[in-house]
Chains A and B, each alone.
Chain A
Amino acid sequence: MAVSRTVVISCAGMGNRLGLGTTKALVEIDGKPLIVRHLENLINEKDIRVVVGYQAEKVINVVTKYRKDVVFVFNHNYRETGTGASVALAARYANEYILSLDGDLLIHPEDMKKILECDFEFVSGGVPETDDPWMLQTYEEAGQKYVSAFSKNLGDYEWNGITQMKSSKMMNGTGHVFQLIEPYLPVSFMELRTREIDTVNDYERAVAWVRNGFK
């Protein structure tokens, strides 16, 4: 089933911890900016929104060189708000579902296919990897795992920021993306292979991952 979906890529943040002086979506992994890697995987998606803030013009220039049929959504308050605010802004006047991705995330190309085939709501996580993770508490019912809570300490998987939810549920909030989802839990869980680029160590791990064919 083709789901009526808007893909939201959040690229408004500053990425200070990485110390490269560029917004994280523009960080090049093996010669290609993260945002372009997302766009390549989303080639058949018709409705893409990129949320911009810090270095907006730079992000816009890189994206429009790759494809022009994108709606850019401004989060002018990116300094004071979290990614949840960016997603909420982009969810207004969107299609029935929004698929929300962080611009600073690297997703295994095969897992991206799995995401795009999904026609229901889900929250995603993977093997805990970063230094300061938010965790997902899950339970299993009839062979399907569900996310029951987000937690700083407890859980089997690390939340990676990828979620597909009805857009009508995601329109209000200024904090974290998971805070938009919390009122609607439980939601189906999807395990994905990703790398988040928060620190220089993350960056080096991500480069190695790509060069090694995502192994």
Chain B
Amino acid sequence: MSRYIFLFDLDSTVTGQEILPTISKELGIYEKMNDLTESTMRGEIPFKQSFLQRVELLKEIPVSKVREMIGEIKLNEQLAEFIRENRERCYIVTGNLDIWIEKLVEKIGMEHNTFCSKALVKNDYIQDVFSVVDKNAVISQMVLPFVAVGDGNNDAEMIEAAEIGIGYGGVRNIAPSVLACASHVIYEEGKLVEFLEKLL
């Protein structure tokens, strides 16, 4: 058995849909949200600024409603099952907000194994985002060698630092910065899970 810890990006890696663009479709703010998401994925806007702008777009929606909607986002079920079965060695590393993704991460058994951004809530509305996750800071805490899986520009550093850094392109295109440093890239969920099982 290896000693690898497995770090997963959440959005369009463990989920089969892009979280914020998908819910903003239902809320009628898709275009603005999608533009921001796309330029962030390509690395044209720093993640922190972009994420705060995207939170602004959803600030008028009750937190409980956003949480419910995100809870219904489709998961890549084979990958989610791998995470559940190996939950003691798996972690989610996502820029998304704790109070929004709570229900979704519970579904994959990661409620105690998630590094994410955090917000203060008052009367079911976001008062302030008080921390935006820095994936680089998360990986700098790692003592054991790790495997990292992701697709976006803000995953590139953890993928580069990983012993095995995997770009996953099953949901959307892999960011150029990830292609530039990944040790492996995989475009099919079943193949990704099969490869991860070899790394256990």
Contacts and interface: CB of A to CB of B under 8 A. Distances in A.
B186 A71 contact: yes
Given A70-B191, A71-B195, A93-B199, A56 B186 contact: no
Given A93-B198, A93-B199, A71 B191 contact: yes
Contacts of B185: 60, 72, 74
A149 to B, nearest CB: 33
Interface in A3-50: 47
Contacts of B191: 68-71
A111 B184 CA distance: 30
B183 interface: yes
Interface residues of B, number: 17
Nearest to A92: B164
A212 interface: no
A68 B188 contact: yes
B190 interface: yes
A201 interface: no
Nearest to B182: A74
A73 interface: yes
B184 A74 contact: yes
A56 B183 CA distance: 12
Contacts of A144: none
B184 A73 contact: yes
A69 B194 CA distance: 10
Interface in B142-200: 164, 179-188, 190-191, 194-195, 198-199
A68 B181 CA distance: 21
Interface SS of chain A: mixed
Contacts, number: 37
Given A93-B195, A93-B198, A71 B179 contact: no
Given A93-B195, A93-B199, A70 B187 contact: yes
B22 to A, nearest CB: 22
Contact of B179 (A56, A64, A89, A93): A56
Contacts of A64: 187
A39 to B, nearest CB: 14
Nearest to B173: A57
Contact of B183 (A69, A70, A74, A94): A74
Nearest to B185: A72
Contacts of B187: 60, 64, 68, 70
Contacts of B182: 74
A71 B184 contact: yes
Contacts of B188: 68-70
Contacts of B184: 71-74
A73 B195 contact: no
Interface in A133-190: none
Interface in B50-109: none
A69 B179 contact: no
Interface string A79-93: 000000000010001
A4 to B, nearest CB: 12
Contact of A72 (B181, B186, B194): B186
Contact of A57 (B179, B190, B194): B179
Interface string A51-67: 00000110010001000
Interface of A: 47, 56-57, 60, 64, 68-74, 76, 89, 93-94
5 closest A-B pairs by CB: A93-B198, A68-B188, A72-B185, A69-B191, A69-B188
Interface of B: 164, 179-188, 190-191, 194-195, 198-199
29 contacts: A56-B179, A57-B179, A60-B185, A60-B187, A68-B187, A68-B188, A69-B190, A69-B191, A70-B188, A70-B191, A71-B186, A71-B191, A71-B195, A72-B184, A72-B185, A72-B186, A73-B183, A73-B184, A74-B182, A74-B183, A74-B184, A74-B185, A76-B180, A76-B181, A93-B164, A93-B195, A93-B198, A93-B199, A94-B198
